[in-house]
Structure 1
């Protein structure tokens, strides 16, 4: 053995064992994450609403209507951003071409199971998102988690940064004036509904004309 090799630091048996254990746990975590992602992508997992995060899932007809609205507007090969509306992701992926990009910007890290299609997003830091996504998406659809001026104002900053132009916003009817001022959005005939009925009336707004009324 050379003098240089003698000078190399040597791991103790206990340190080496701990290192092996660390790598083993890391591999197990990665395998578990991969399995979860596969299960979720195959549609076998349904995430429950977390009311602490102000989550209220759309009903099936609303999911189908919004997805169809997007496809009617930008086609099946578009770049699509979903901001705080995770229940649209699965059907959007199913209905669009494999060349489409569907990205979910969401605070709930359970949806990290969607892999690279997931971007951790907190409306309180509206531009803490990838800088290369500015004016990137053909359409952005957003559903701010709270019916407050602060939440909609900050979400609007995110939406304007991400979109090339087209915007769909689902929020309470009480936010109509602010939605118009911030994003120049107008109410559509489509009315979003939720699995668990909410006391607040919800409306859908866009900044572009729809091809045809959506019921």
Structure 2
């Protein structure tokens, strides 16, 4: 073995510069996230909200403290925080792939279109859509009863603790009791393209939505149907989606992701909106 065989490989100057740049960007991202987290905590405390427990018991806290939330918690955030989905690094082990900004805003628009102050919205496993809503001035939102359900507890920074619910599709009915049967408009995006994940997510969807079939006929003050159900998932899930959700149709809207996810995604919905029609 020659001496050259024992030498450690070295990075080129260009590769080393790129690595240092990546490390610096990662450091800045983490520092910003820490500041955002602290700002959210300070805002939470300043409004006199105290659930008295750790995040591990967050669902139980919301259940036990919902005596002050008969009409739902209203979304409240500091518009100067400038928090975006890009402040949260994707965790591919959790199948996290953020929507492209245009897609996230289209889905947000459809959830908000025609809603009124009595409309309750929940976004499950699609934090980039919640981030798109949060980027808008509070006064522009027709309703502030907007909730985010996520497995990744980092996103409580995005929604605020009162409007966050821990969600694990493996336990489809283990989530905040105060929101069961209370949701008018739901976007639920199963994180994995597997039949079990899709089926269990549908159990959650049915438990979240208002139970009465008459609710599907109720209209908001602007004359738009209050009920809306959306799910974006792989095209290969189409047969199962249409079987699991009898009122679903495949729409002509194609969701796109920031990092060029190769799987073909489709949008399934039980209504035609301003941004899509049913595929003929």
Name the SS of the counterpart of 1:58 in structure 2. coil
Question: What displacement does 1:47 show?
Answer: 0.6
Alpha carbons 1:43, 1:90 under 8 Å: kept:
no
Q: State which of 76, 79, 103 in structure 1 corresponds to 2:147.
A: 103
* Structure 1 stretch displaced more, 98-107 or 195-204: 98-107
Q: Cα deviation per residue 1:26-82 (whole Å; 9 max; x = unaligned)?
A: xxxxx995424569862236111111111000001101111111122x425321100
Alpha carbons 2:111, 2:228 under 8 Å: kept:
no
Gaps of 5+ in 1: 1-30
Aligned residues: 183
Determine the C-alpha separation between the residues in 1 that align with 2:107 and 2:36: 32
Alpha carbons 1:70, 1:139 under 8 Å: kept:
yes
Question: What displacement does 1:99 show?
Answer: 4.5
Alpha carbons 2:122, 2:149 under 8 Å: kept:
yes
Question: What displacement does 1:197 show?
Answer: 1.0
Name the SS of the counterpart of 1:204 in structure 2. strand
Determine the C-alpha separation between the residues in 2 that align with 1:194 and 1:32: 25
Gaps of 5+ in 2: 1-34, 44-76, 211-226
Q: Does structure 1 residue 75 correspond to structure 2 residue 115?
A: yes
TM-score (norm 2): 0.60
Q: Does structure 1 residue 194 correspond to structure 2 residue 257?
A: yes
Q: Does structure 1 residue 44 correspond to structure 2 residue 83?
A: yes
Alpha carbons 1:58, 1:195 under 8 Å: kept:
yes
Corresponding residue of 1:167: 229
Q: Does structure 1 residue 157 correspond to structure 2 residue 161?
A: no
TM-score (norm 1): 0.76
Q: Over aligned residue pairs, what C-alpha RMSD do you find?
A: 2.4
Higher strand share: 1
Alpha carbons 2:185, 2:228 under 8 Å: kept:
yes
Q: How does 1:1-215 map to 2 (within 5 A)?
A: 33-36=37-40, 42-44=81-83, 46-72=87-113, 74-75=114-115, 77=117, 78-93=119-134, 94=136, 97=141, 99-113=143-157, 114-164=160-210, 165-184=227-246, 185-211=248-274, 213=276
Determine the C-alpha separation between the residues in 2 that align with 1:211 and 1:89: 19
Rg (Cα) greater in structure: 1
Determine the C-alpha separation between the residues in 2 that align with 1:187 and 1:89: 23
Q: Cα deviation per residue 1:94-145 (whole Å; 9 max; x = unaligned)?
A: 2653742111110001112232111000000000012232221111001111
Determine the C-alpha separation between the residues in 1 that align with 2:36 and 2:273: 42
